[in-house]
Amino acid sequence: MNTLKTQVRVQFVIILLLVFYLGWREFVDEAPPSGVKEASMENDESRKEEMKGTNKLPNYQAFIVPTPEELTFAGEKIVLKEPDLRERFDREIHVNANWHSNTILMIKRSHRWMAQISEVLKKNNVPDDFKYIVAIESNFEENARSHRNAVGFWQLLEGTAEQYGLEVNNEVDERRDPVKATEAACKYLHDAYDKFGDWTSVAASYNVGMRGLERRLDEQKVDSYFDVLLNDETSRYMFRILAAKAILENPGLYGFNIPVGERYRQPEFDTVKVEETIPDLVDFAHKHGITYKTLKRYNPWLRDRDLTVKNNTYEILISKDPLEQHLVQKLTK
C-alpha cells in the first residue's frame, strides 16, 4: 500500500515538472533574444527619421471628399441639402475616388473616345453630360457585355439596338461601334425626353426603362427621380453618373494626376468603304498592312472572319499608326 502511494506521488511530481518545462519552452521560443526588441524599436525610429522629407513612404492614403451643396447635370441644378441625396452622392464619389485601378483605367480609356462621343451628342442636340453614361455603363470598353447580354459602350440590348437602327447578326454587331451606338442612344434619349421633359429623368430611365420609371413615379405620386423610391441599382445610377462627371472633369482634384502621354490615344485612320462581300478579313487586313488583331481592335463590330454585303455598305477603319502598320514593309518587299 505504501509502495503504491509512493509511485502515485512520484508520477504526480513528474507530470508537474513536465507541465512547468513545456510552459517554460513556449515562453523561451516566443520571447525575442535579449536586446532584439530594443534594437527593433531603435531601427523603426531611425527609419522614420530617415524617411522624413522624402517621397519614399508608400502613399496608402484614402481620400475623404467633401460633398458639395449642389451639382449640375445637363444644365439642371441638383441640390444636395437633403440627407438622403447627400449620402447617395457621398457613397459614389468615395467609391470612385478610392477605387484606384478602375478609375485610372476609366480616365485613360476616356481620352481615346470622349471627343468623338461629344461630337455625336452635339450633332444630335443631346447635352454633353450624357457622355458620362458611357463611363458607368461600360468604363469605355467597346467589347463590354453584361450578364443580361447588353453590349458595347452604351450597353444596349439586342432588341433595343435593332429598334434604334443598329444591325445585329452573326457577322455584325453595331452595338460595339462606339459612334453608331452613340447615334442609337441619342434616339432613345430624345424619346425619353419627349416623355419626361427633364434630362435627369431621361438619364435615370436609361437604367430602369421609360415604362419602369414612369410606373414608379405614378405609383408613388411624385414627379422627380430624387423623390421616388427605386431599386438599389437605379437609386445609385444618377449619382454614379455625377461622380464620374466630377472625376473626369477634374481628375487631379481627386488625386488622379495622369499625364496626357499616359492616357490611351486614338490613332489616325484611313476609312475603307466596303460595298462588296469580303470572304476573308485576315487577307483584307494584310492587304492594308495591318494584322487581323489590329483590324478587330478598331472595328470591334466585326464578329466573324468574313463580311457579307447585300444592300448595305460598311466603313472599316484602318490604323495609320506606323507601329500598327508593320506589315506594310513585309508586303512591299
Cα–Cα distance measured from residue 222 to residue 273, given in angstroms and rounded to the nearest whole number: 50
Q: Is the Cβ–Cβ distance between 157 and 95 less than 8 Å?
A: no
Banded pLDDT at 115 (limits 50, 70, 90): very high
Cα–Cα distance measured from residue 302 to residue 292, given in angstroms and rounded to the nearest whole number: 11
The arithmetic mean of pLDDT across residues 94-102, rounded, is 92
The percentage of residues in the chain with a pLDDT greater than 90, rounded to a whole number, is: 73
Per-range mean pLDDT, top range of 179-188, 303-312, 323-332: 179-188
| Distance linking the first and last C-alpha atoms of the chain | 110
Is residue 45 scored above 60 in pLDDT?
no
pLDDT of residue 40: 42
Which residues, listed in sequence order, are joined to residue 172 by a DSSP beta bridge?
302
Count of H-run helices and E-run strands, the chain: 13, 4
Q: Is the Cβ–Cβ distance between 135 and 248 less than 8 Å?
A: yes
The arithmetic mean of pLDDT across residues 266-275, rounded, is 95
What does residue 3 show for φ and ψ, rounded to 5 degrees? -65, -40
Banded pLDDT at 325 (limits 50, 70, 90): confident
Region for 96 from its dihedrals, namely left if φ exceeds 0, alpha if ψ lies in -120 to 50, beta otherwise:
alpha
